[in-house]
Amino acid sequence: MLMVINLSLAQLTITGTVSDDEGIPLPGATVLVQNTSNGVSTDFDGVYTITANTGDVLVYSFVGYANQSVTVGASDQIDVVLTSEGALEEVIVTSFGTSKRSISFSSWAL
């Protein structure tokens, strides 16, 4: 008699919102299943939907905010609040050359 044991993990469709510490939704935040290429971006209201297995780690990120990791449990709703990493570094714009071009209108008839 042969006994087969199925140890498959439960796959869930997880939904939630990503917002900042003031409760403002973060549109375009990234939600990624760690160590996979499975990822999504939040919509205009900071809402996302992703498929993951129980035990997977979801990594949430957004420019200017600290990443946050959450392990998937039995719940299919995970809301995340990201905290600001502080001010962004300054941006310096430099020009390395200019050109000047003149147009003469003397040959045009009026």
Predicted confidence (pLDDT) per residue in 89-110, tens digit: 667 777 776 667 766 666 555 5
The pLDDT-based confidence of 8 (bands split at 50, 70, 90) is low
- Global pTM reads 0.71
Query: In this structure, is the dihedral angle defined by the CA atoms of residues 21, 23, 27 and 33, taken in order, positive or negative?
Result: positive
For residues 14 and 38, the answer to whether their CB atoms sit within 8 Å is: no
The pLDDT-based confidence of 6 (bands split at 50, 70, 90) is very low
* Domain ranges within the chain, ordered by starting residue: 11-82
C-alpha to C-alpha distance for 28 and 62, rounded to whole angstroms: 8
What CATH code is assigned to 11-82?
Answer: 2.60.40.1120
**Model confidence over 18-74: pLDDT tens digits?**
999 999 999 999 999 999 999 999 999 999 999 999 999 999 999 999 999 999 999
Amino acid at 6: N
Tokens linked to 86: 């502080």
pLDDT for 10 equals 75
